Amino acid sequence: MTGTAEAREVDRALKAKHRSMWALGDYPAVARNVVAGLGPALVAACGIEDGDRVLDVAAGSGNASIPAALAGGDVVASDLTPELLHVGHREAEARGAAVSWQEADAEDLPFEDGSFDTVMSCVGVMFAPHHQAAADELVRVCRPGGTIGLLSWTPEGFVGKMFAIMKPYAPPPPPGAQPPPLWGREDHVRTLLGVRVTDVEAHRRSLRVDAFGGPEEFRAFFKSAYGPTISVYRNLADDPERTAALDAALLDLARGALQDGALDWEYLLLTARRAT
């Protein structure tokens, strides 16, 4: 087996692992009941209008795809995990939104150069392991003069802190994989996109989350519904002491962040124009 063939095999295994992780639990419930406000915020920032060709990368169950279609966009929702696309298809039909659903790897999109007026991702592409490869694809499929819109959790925000807490309990990442919350740093995204974009606008905002009755309810929900959290706990299945330590750390995080019965989750909202 050549080095290139070996690298491809490693990448296939990594993507299969990611696909399985996001199929765990009930991510559509997270999108529907916890972070529903993120999709419309991204769609508004991208300025999607009637007839715009829109690609939602790592779309999940359509948190941004469905609002984009309802705003008049001609939307393709792509994701690595077909189970999420199936749920999104049903939810789009229930809401009267016409969306095309396509299984696709964010690092190797099956679309022609310059195919879309808007290319966006809502807390999705940030989880692709190779950031530069994913960024290159975002730029490639966007037409010159088109819009790239990204909404990502920041490292300093609640979700970024949650990932930092879980990291020591998870298996070591494969070589070359980068931490998802880096997409929440403006300088990192600017470096990824480089001179291929202009008119970059970036703002840190917060999503107010009042879906949980308290810290314990937050922890229980994420242990049962959120794929990355479920995966980490499965890694600890034979280690009750470390499981208890992670339980306590997540509870402390939520307790420290809870204010007036809600949590504020910081994200970076960045838009840019593909250079002509």
E-only strand ranges, 169-262 = 197-209
211 CA to centre of own chain: 19
- Please work out, in degrees rounded to the nearest 5, the angle formed at the alpha carbon of residue 55 by the alpha carbons of 111 and 222: 120
The interaxial angle of helices 158-166 and 240-257, nearest 10 deg, is 170
| Tokens linked to 50 | 């009637």
Please state, in angstroms and rounded to a whole number, the distance separating the CA atoms of residues 206 and 159.
11
Round to whole Å and give the CA distance between 172 and 176.
11
What was the pLDDT predicted at 4?
79
Q: How much is the CA Rg of the chain, to the nearest whole Å?
A: 18
Give the pLDDT score at 3.
54
Write down the pLDDT at residue 45.
98
* CA–CA dist 274, 135 (Å, integer): 12
Backbone region of residue 25 per phi and psi (left: phi > 0; alpha: psi in -120 to 50; beta: other values): left
Task: Tell whether 124 is covered by a domain.
Answer: yes
Q: What angle do CA 55, 60, 65 make, to 5 degrees?
A: 40
Q: Do residues 90 and 32 touch, judged by C-beta distance below 8 A?
A: no
- What pLDDT score does 92 carry? 98
Question: For 123, phi and psi rounded to 5 degrees?
Answer: 40, 50
The pLDDT value recorded for residue 266 is 98
- Give pLDDT tens digits along the chain (276 positions): 345 787 788 888 999 999 999 999 999 999 999 999 999 999 999 999 999 999 999 999 999 999 999 999 999 999 999 999 999 999 999 999 999 999 999 999 999 999 999 999 999 999 999 999 999 999 999 999 999 999 999 999 999 999 999 999 999 988 889 999 999 999 999 999 999 999 999 999 999 999 999 999 999 999 999 999 999 999 999 999 999 999 999 999 999 999 999 999 999 999 999 999
The answer to the question of residue 24 being in a domain is yes
Query: What's the domain count of the chain?
Result: 1
In a domain, 258, yes or no: no
HSE toward the beta carbon, residue 237, CA cutoff 13 A: 4
- Mention every residue, 6+ apart, whose C-beta is less than 8 A from residue 10: 174
> Rounded to whole angstroms, how far apart are CA atoms 31 and 79?
14
Q: Can you give the pLDDT at residue 2?
A: 41
Expressed in percent and rounded to 5, the helix, strand and coil fractions of the chain are: 50, 25, 30
Q: Is residue 169 part of a domain?
A: yes
Q: With respect to residue 84, please indicate whether it lies within any of the assigned structural domains.
A: yes
Residue 29 falls inside a structural domain? yes
CA 110 to chain centre: 19
- Tokens read off for 109: 């999109």
- Quick check: is 253 in a domain? no
Residues 6+ apart with CB under 8 A from 174: 10, 14, 129
Q: Is 229 in contact with 167 (CB distance < 8 Å)?
A: no
- In the numeric block, the tokens 């989750």 are attached to 265
Predicted TM-score (pTM) of this structure: 0.96
CATH code assigned at 20? 3.40.50.150
| Domain that includes residue 176, residue range | 12-208+266-274
Residue 72 domain-assigned?
yes
